[in-house]
Amino acid sequence: MGKPTGFLEYQRRTVSDRPPTERARDFLEFHEPLDDGERAQQGARCMDCGVPFCQSSYGCPVDNLIPEWNEMVYRRKWEDAFWRLLKTNNFPEYTGRVCPAPCETACVLGINEPPVTIKDNECTIIDRAYESGLMKPRPPQNRTGRRVVIVGSGPAGLAAADQLNKAGHLVTVYERSDRIGGLLMYGIPNMKLDKRLVERRNSIMAAEGVDFVPNTFVGRDVDPNELVRDFDAVLLACGATVPRDLPVPGRELAGVHFAMEFLHANTKALLDTGRVDLAGAGAPSDNGGVISAAGKRVIVIGGGDTGNDCIGTSVRHGCTGLVNFELLPKPAAERDEQYPWPTYPRLYTQDYGHEEADALFAGDPREYSIMTREFVADADGSVRGVRTVRVAWHKPRGERPRFEEVPGSEQEWPADLVLLALGFLGPEQEILDMLEVERDPRTNVAAEYGRFSTSREKVFAAGDARRGQSLVVWAIKEGRDAASQIDRYLMGDRARLPA
């Protein structure tokens, strides 16, 4: 695929970023694209590898036809590339920005060379489609008369809505927040995913006939049992929104917050004020539900994407110091026997927030193998510090890794704001209790993968609500597959979506 000798002739080049100290002054996306010639060279690096692991079970969950559209990028056949990309992925403008790209870690070229820049190629294809007018509303020509309601407008719910609407069904999407998008709107900061892109894509779906109902909490404003009665099928795509807490002494202190409280309020403030492009837009004083890091010493507990997003947001607020605690040890810089190709490796890298904190505070903010013991209070009942202890990790052969505290390693860290980014336990249970659907041992909705049907007739589940906390690309995959099963349930042999 691509140019047969391209991987020998061209070096991997990713998009460039604005300098950390510059981009940390605003909430705009900070990637600078390659020109057409440079992008064509990146498509040319795709090899005729025989078995494209990039689109296998090790690579892209939505089975993107990566070698095909890489060749089209090389040949600058942008419209052909767009149609091949849209065949498997409803939202490449999202995955091309926020996906961790398991396709690239599974790339055959990546065995001994830097892999193909698949993610950047994908993003370029869809961005050009918008610029050229290719990406536009295409309402279905015929309607089936069947009505489907989707609870939740995150990537799983939106992917299912898009698919079911294209099949001609009448789709209604309920969202409890004031804007449609779920995690895409309020869980990912604007500099990582510009909300104008989300609103633009939502407007296309609305023009195609999807009925969006924001500001409506199913389970409180609407009885979910009425939805089961009034619609032909119900899809639960309400996400895994119950955060993992840290029940140590001092947890009740003012200034200790869940990460999503911080991120959601920040993005809402940006959108409500329309000041996304101005420095300090997300750093008002603590009022109106907004949590500000301005002028504060911040500690983020927990790594991963959410922890990094808290770092990047705190830097933009104007925090005076920043530390990130991670319980796990520091990852290796390169693959080892624990992460052989083509598995997705846990490697040491600097994401955008780490780079910015490093540039502003002269050092990587992360502290590894460290455990929080206590939050320390000031005289007013607010947090003023965090007490920790170092841990040492061991992995006996055939057993799970475990750790023990290191004697004499206790330490107290000053803090005015602590953000808990420890992941999520599962979906909120209120709506599940009302519907009386079965759950798995992790409190997720019990629905067999591939079928997506719950223990309640007419009710299906997909995304994080079914599988637990996962990636945006997996949510899209589940939404698409659940839509196929719902279509089959509604239409039988006349089903319009591929199984």
The predicted-structure confidence for 317-349, as pLDDT tens digits, reads as follows 999 999 999 999 999 999 988 899 999 999 999
Peptide bond into 342 cis (omega under 30): yes
- Same domain (yes/no): 445, 384: no
Question: Percent of the chain at pLDDT above 90?
Answer: 93
- Same domain (yes/no): 275, 379: yes
Cα within 13 Å of Cα(166), Cβ side: 19
Inside any domain, residue 142? no
Region 360-373: mean pLDDT is: 97
What count of residues does the chain have? 499
- Same domain (yes/no): 254, 392: yes
- Same domain (yes/no): 398, 289: yes
Inside any domain, residue 140? no
- Same domain (yes/no): 292, 261: yes
Inside any domain, residue 327? yes
What's the pLDDT at 93? 98
- Same domain (yes/no): 269, 405: yes
Sign of CA dihedral 290, 295, 300, 305: positive
Which of 422, 443, 466 represents a domain boundary (last residue)? 422
pLDDT tens digit sequence for 246-278: 999 999 999 999 999 999 999 999 999 877 554
- Same domain (yes/no): 32, 120: yes
* Domain of residue 84, CATH code: 1.10.1060.10
Which of 73, 105, 132 represents a domain boundary (last residue)? 132
- Same domain (yes/no): 22, 93: yes
Inside any domain, residue 499? no
Region 184-208: mean pLDDT is: 97
Question: CA–CA separation, 78 vs 125, rounded Å?
Answer: 6
CA angle 292, 295, 299 (to 5 degrees): 70
* Averaged pLDDT of the chain: 95
Region 59-72: mean pLDDT is: 96
Inside any domain, residue 141? no
Region 397-409: mean pLDDT is: 93
Grade residue 284 by pLDDT with cuts at 50, 70 and 90. very low
User: What pairs with residue 300 in β-bridges?
Assistant: 324, 419
Inside any domain, residue 348? yes
- Same domain (yes/no): 153, 120: no
Q: Is the pLDDT of residue 279 over 80?
A: no
Region 298-327: mean pLDDT is: 97
Inside any domain, residue 87? yes
- Same domain (yes/no): 342, 216: no
Inside any domain, residue 282? yes
What's the pLDDT at 276? 58
The 3 state secondary structure assigned to the chain is CCCCCHHHHCCCCCCEECCHHHHCCCCCCCEECCCHHHHHHHHHCCCCCCCCHHHCCCCCCCCCCHHHHHHHHHCCCHHHHHHHHHCCCCCHHHHHHHCCCHHHHCCHHHHCCCCCCHHHHHHHHHHHHHHHCCCCCCCCCCCCCCEEEEECCCHHHHHHHHHHHHCCCEEEEECCCCCCCCHHHHHCCCCCCCHHHHHHHHHHHHHCCCEEECCCCECCCECHHHHHHHCCEEEECCCCCEECCCCCCCCCCECEEEHHHHHHHHHHHHHHHCCCCCCCCCCCCCCCCCCCCCCCEEEEECCHHHHHHHHHHHHHHCCCEEEEEECCCCCECCCCCCCCCCCCCCECCCCHHHHHHHHHHCCCCEEECEEEEEEEECCCCEEEEEEEEEEEEECCCCCCCEEEECCCCCEEEECCEEEECCCEEECCCHHHHHHCCCECCCCCECCCCCCCECCCCCEEECCHHHHCCCCHHHHHHHHHHHHHHHHHHHHHHHCCCCC
Which of 109, 132, 155 represents a domain boundary (last residue)? 132
For 463, other C-beta atoms within 10 Å of its C-beta total 35
- Same domain (yes/no): 33, 120: yes
Q: Is the pLDDT of residue 354 over 50?
A: yes
| Residue closest to 343 by CA, chosen among 57, 119, 49, 95 | 57
Question: CA–CA separation, 398 vs 396, rounded Å?
Answer: 6
Tell me the one-letter amino acid at 364: D
Asked whether 306 and 259 are in contact (CB, 8 A), the reply is yes
Question: CA–CA separation, 252 vs 55, rounded Å?
Answer: 46
What's the pLDDT at 1? 59
What's the pLDDT at 144? 98
Region 42-51: mean pLDDT is: 93
For 266, other C-beta atoms within 10 Å of its C-beta total 28
Q: Is the pLDDT of residue 485 over 90?
A: yes
- Same domain (yes/no): 451, 357: no
Asked whether 264 and 187 are in contact (CB, 8 A), the reply is yes
Q: Encoding tokens for residue 110?
A: 């990546």
Question: CA–CA separation, 156 vs 471, rounded Å?
Answer: 10
Q: Encoding tokens for residue 100?
A: 């961790």
Q: Is the pLDDT of residue 293 over 60?
A: yes
Number of structural domains (the chain) is 3
Helix axes 259-273, 304-317, angle to 10 degrees: 50
13 vs 285, more confident: 13
Q: Is the pLDDT of residue 229 over 60?
A: yes
* Domain of residue 482, CATH code: 3.50.50.60
Q: Is the pLDDT of residue 282 over 60?
A: no
What's the pLDDT at 57? 87
Asked whether 353 and 315 are in contact (CB, 8 A), the reply is yes
What are 71-75's contacts with CB under 8 Å, separation 24+?
71/1, 71/2, 71/43, 71/46, 72/43, 73/2, 73/39, 73/40, 73/42, 73/43, 73/121, 73/124, 73/125, 74/2, 74/3, 74/6, 74/40, 74/41, 74/43, 74/44, 74/46, 75/40, 75/43
Place of tokens 């996304």: 276
Q: Encoding tokens for residue 222?
A: 């609407």
Domain that holds residue 459: 147-241+425-494
What's the pLDDT at 288? 58
Grade residue 280 by pLDDT with cuts at 50, 70 and 90. very low
Q: For the ranges 74-88, 190-204, 395-409, 439-453, which has the lowest average pLDDT?
A: 395-409
Asked whether 4 and 45 are in contact (CB, 8 A), the reply is no
What's the pLDDT at 499? 76
Q: Is the pLDDT of residue 422 over 90?
A: yes
pLDDT tens digit sequence for 372-388: 999 999 999 999 999 99
What's the pLDDT at 283? 45
